[in-house]
């Protein structure tokens, strides 16, 4: 198979993975709906950057290190789960607070905070690097051509940032925002419960592999 065909196959698999609901979807949709469209796009870029970091690490062979040192993988899973649970607690605690949303960004640092929140959320799940490594191991040739090494991080960024930009665009529209403001308390508590459940699941998964 040509380099182009291999790259397309990997990207197609990543698209399916990116579209699967998870903490990344919860974070980007909530940022877009509760802050601004620009914040949503900043969060999408954060997801793309996190995907690139994992892709580069997978290409560099970090997964071999994680498989050799089980304690390191367990530590990463527990730390990632703790971060997701921290986000969940903050969402739950702020559920009853009134909120005014606008596409006008009054705080220039807000998009950067949204970017960092999304980036850390993406990096909080070390299973993602295992997914990348599995796809690369299954589809890449034994000797990876230089053009593929260069193309893959760009492709990963396009998939992750592209999909979550669509999510940000959809959830920052007027109707979803009106629905959110009407039922903010329950929506935030549901989002917090989901994030907390995902965080606890990641922590328990790490503890069970010790």
C-alpha span between 74 and 206 (Å, rounded): 5
* 8 A C-beta contact, residue 111 and residue 105: yes
- What b/e string do you get for 47-63 counting C-beta neighbours within 10 Å, with b at 16 or more? bbbbbbbbbbbbbeebb
pLDDT of the chain along its 210 residues, tens only?
677 888 888 888 888 778 777 788 888 988 998 888 899 999 999 999 999 998 888 887 755 665 666 777 777 778 777 877 887 887 788 777 765 555 555 567 888 999 999 999 888 877 777 778 777 777 777 677 888 888 889 999 999 999 999 999 988 888 877 777 677 788 778 877 877 887 788 788 777 765
Q: Distances in Å between the alpha carbon of 203 and those of 134, 142, 162, 189? A: 22, 34, 29, 21
Helix extents (H) in the chain: 3-19, 23-34, 37-60, 62-68, 70-93, 110-123, 127-139, 146-171, 174-182, 184-208
With CA atoms as reference, report the closest residue to 122 among 42, 73, 49: 49
* 8 A C-beta contact, residue 66 and residue 136: no
Total-model pTM: 0.76
């Amino acid at each position: 198979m040509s380099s182009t065909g291999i790259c397309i196959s990997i990207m197609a698999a990543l698209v399916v993975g990116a579209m699967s609901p998870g903490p990344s979807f919860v974070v980007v949709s909530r940022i877009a709906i509760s802050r601004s469209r620009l914040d949503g796009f900043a969060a999408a870029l954060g997801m793309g950057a996190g995907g690139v970091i994992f892709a580069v690490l997978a290409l560099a062979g970090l997964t071999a290190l994680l498989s050799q040192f089980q304690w390191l993988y367990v530590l990463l899973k527990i730390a990632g789960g703790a971060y997701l649970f921290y986000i969940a607690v903050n969402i739950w605690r702020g559920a009853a607070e009134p909120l005014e949303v606008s596409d006008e960004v009054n705080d220039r640092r807000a998009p950067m905070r949204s970017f960092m929140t999304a980036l850390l959320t993406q990096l909080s799940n070390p299973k993602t690097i295992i997914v990348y490594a599995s796809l690369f191991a299954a589809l890449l040739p034994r000797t990876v051509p230089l053009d593929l090494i260069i193309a893959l991080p760009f492709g990963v960024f396009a998939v992750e940032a592209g999909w979550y930009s669509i999510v940000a665009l959809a959830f920052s529209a007027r109707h979803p925002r009106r629905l959110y403001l009407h039922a903010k308390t329950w929506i935030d508590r549901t989002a917090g419960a989901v994030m907390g459940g995902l965080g606890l699941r990641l922590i328990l998964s790490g503890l069970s592999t010790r």
